[in-house]
Structure 1
Amino acid sequence: MISLLDPDNPEEHFPPVENAEQEPDGLLAVGGDLSPTRLLNAYRHGIFPWYSSEQPILWWAPDPRTVLFPESIKISRSLAKTLRNRNYQFTFDTAFSEVINACAMPQPGREETWITEEMKQAYIQLHQLGFAHSAEIRENNRLVGGLYGIAIGRVFFGESMFSLERDASKIALVHLAHSLADKEFGLIDCQVYTSHLISLGAEEIERRHFCDLLQRFCNQPGFIGSWTEGIDES
């Protein structure tokens, strides 16, 4: 049974993820709010919000879960060629608002966005608090790709990515994975299956295993604050 969350009580507990519906896969709860307290609590327990503008806030915990272990990132021959031949520059946290706005724009095959104005403001607030981060790709000082997500402990919860030039979002993910591997992050949460992510080394694991990994890695020392100058432990 889907739980109804109280919008006036951001500290209330989420129901166990095992209660999530099988159809639609992973729907766990409805309502609540997008306060930092509730969002961080959700991610720690393997839950994320995903809804459109005409819907209430919907909270999901699908099974299986798509993840990428940072050290397992795959670089195809064509991607390696792009890395060699394009003059792309990689940065962290220099254009968070621009990245989330770009991710919200319609893209081929996706005419509508789930990144509502309410969602944008919630994640910008998390960025200001040092939990949400963006990875940017520029070419000739023009922002051409990137991604954003949440970092808790040594887990990065990826939210969305965009690309205006060839392979720009893939290259953002490659640089992110390498940076996180260097800092001994254990996991990048990719949420749901896409062939794009699988081609880069992502895999599906059981939700139970995913939650066990969250218990292990979210409780390790974190990296709260701006990553502009690199990922520094808080």
Structure 2
Amino acid sequence: MPPQLPWLEPDAPLPAPTLAWGEGDPAPGLLAAGGALDVDSLRAAYAQGTFPWYGPGQPILWWAPDPRMVLPVSEFRLHRSLNKRLQAFRRQAHCEIRVDSAFQDVITACATKEREGQAGTWIVPEMVNAYTDLHRAGHAHSVETWVDDRLIGGLYCVALGRAVFGESMFAHATDASKIALAALVCLCRRHGITLIDCQQNTQHLTSLGGREIPRADFLVHVDKARQQPAIPWRFEPVYWNELLPPKIDPA
């Protein structure tokens, strides 16, 4: 018989992440249900390595999986095709990376994108509203791929100090989301952030250098990183040098 799942009142704290269901339980990594999605609740959840993930018609479900999927930024795999696309993107004046200029558009695009094998989205309207509030409070950010002043891809993430938690990506053009992720990797490298949380293991993330680590190690990282000063959330073209050879302009 599986353990009883804790039900949280809106102002109740989350259980310790080590109490999440484990291997052999109906939903490994599931920690609790209920609670609230206000800014303070989300900040407290991410500070202990826990995130909300649920579908339409479900209560808020909180997760702390073990192991945890992460992307060490030093291990980001820049495949040949993406390398060529980034080189071309950087050379074009009409192509640019923007940060936090269109957060609402990014999260809405992530919520409405089609996902293979899924009938709906986990980014339900309540989640869109909650993370938009978290963005206004300075703890959620969007990294955006723009071409000809048109948003063609991007991602959004949560940041507490130097702890960065990736959430979702979208693309309206080939590799547009990967370009945004590469920009986030460059931003992290520039400011000494070593790890991007990816939450769930997928083949796509593995192909880009993501891997699983024990939850205990992840929690140690979060506890240290979140206490460090926040970085300036902006992207400068010179940051591409963290991944690509320095750009040499013709004389």
Q: Same fold (TM over 0.5)?
A: yes
What SS is found at the alignment partner of 1:145? strand
Structure 1 position 228, deviation (Å): 4.7
> Which residue of structure 1 lines up, in the alignment, with residue 142 of structure 2?
134
Q: How does 1:159-170 map to 2 (within 5 A)?
A: 159-170=167-178
- Paired residues, what number? 225
Whether the aligned pair in 1 keeps the contact of 2:20 and 2:65 (CA below 8 Å) is: yes
For 1:106 and 1:164, how far apart are their aligned partners in 2? 9
Structure 1 position 141, deviation (Å): 1.5
Whether the aligned pair in 1 keeps the contact of 2:72 and 2:196 (CA below 8 Å) is: yes
Aligned AA (2:83): A
> Which residue of structure 1 lines up, in the alignment, with residue 242 of structure 2?
none
> Which residue of structure 1 lines up, in the alignment, with residue 106 of structure 2?
99
Whether the aligned pair in 2 keeps the contact of 1:96 and 1:148 (CA below 8 Å) is: yes
Q: Give the unaligned 5+ runs of structure 1.
A: none
- Identity of paired residues, percent? 44
**Structure 2 counterpart of 1:211, from 202, 216, 219:** 219
Structure 1 position 122, deviation (Å): 0.6
Whether the aligned pair in 2 keeps the contact of 1:147 and 1:161 (CA below 8 Å) is: yes
**Structure 2 counterpart of 1:115, from 123, 128, 131:** 123
What SS is found at the alignment partner of 1:91? strand
**1:227 and 2:227 are equivalent in the alignment:** no
Whether the aligned pair in 2 keeps the contact of 1:148 and 1:160 (CA below 8 Å) is: yes
What SS is found at the alignment partner of 1:98? helix
Whether the aligned pair in 2 keeps the contact of 1:71 and 1:178 (CA below 8 Å) is: no
For 1:59 and 1:159, how far apart are their aligned partners in 2? 14
> Which residue of structure 1 lines up, in the alignment, with residue 181 of structure 2?
173
Structure 1 position 39, deviation (Å): 0.4
For 1:93 and 1:20, how far apart are their aligned partners in 2? 33
> Which residue of structure 2 lines up, in the alignment, with residue 19 of structure 1?
19
Whether the aligned pair in 2 keeps the contact of 1:146 and 1:172 (CA below 8 Å) is: yes
What SS is found at the alignment partner of 1:107? coil
> Which residue of structure 1 lines up, in the alignment, with residue 5 of structure 2?
2
What SS is found at the alignment partner of 2:188? helix
For 1:228 and 1:65, how far apart are their aligned partners in 2? 27
> Which residue of structure 2 lines up, in the alignment, with residue 85 of structure 1?
88
Runs in 1 of length 4+ with deviation above 6 angstroms? none
Q: Give the unaligned 5+ runs of structure 2.
A: 237-251
Whether the aligned pair in 1 keeps the contact of 2:97 and 2:235 (CA below 8 Å) is: no
Whether the aligned pair in 2 keeps the contact of 1:146 and 1:162 (CA below 8 Å) is: yes
For 2:33 and 2:171, how far apart are their aligned partners in 1? 31
Structure 1 position 229, deviation (Å): 6.6
Aligned AA (2:181): L
For 2:96 and 2:77, how far apart are their aligned partners in 1? 20
Whether the aligned pair in 1 keeps the contact of 2:50 and 2:62 (CA below 8 Å) is: yes
For 2:225 and 2:164, how far apart are their aligned partners in 1? 10
Cα distance change on mapping 1:46 and 1:76 into 2, 3 Å: same
Whether the aligned pair in 2 keeps the contact of 1:32 and 1:57 (CA below 8 Å) is: yes
Cα distance change on mapping 1:210 and 1:77 into 2, 3 Å: same
For 2:98 and 2:205, how far apart are their aligned partners in 1? 21
**RMSD (Å), alpha carbons:** 1.5
Aligned AA (1:129): A
TM-score, normalised relative to structure 1: 0.91
> Which residue of structure 2 lines up, in the alignment, with residue 155 of structure 1?
163
For 1:24 and 1:81, how far apart are their aligned partners in 2? 41
For 1:170 and 1:113, how far apart are their aligned partners in 2? 20
Once the two structures are superposed, what CA deviation does each residue of 1:189-213 show, in whole Å capped at 9, x if it has no partner?
0001011111111110011111111
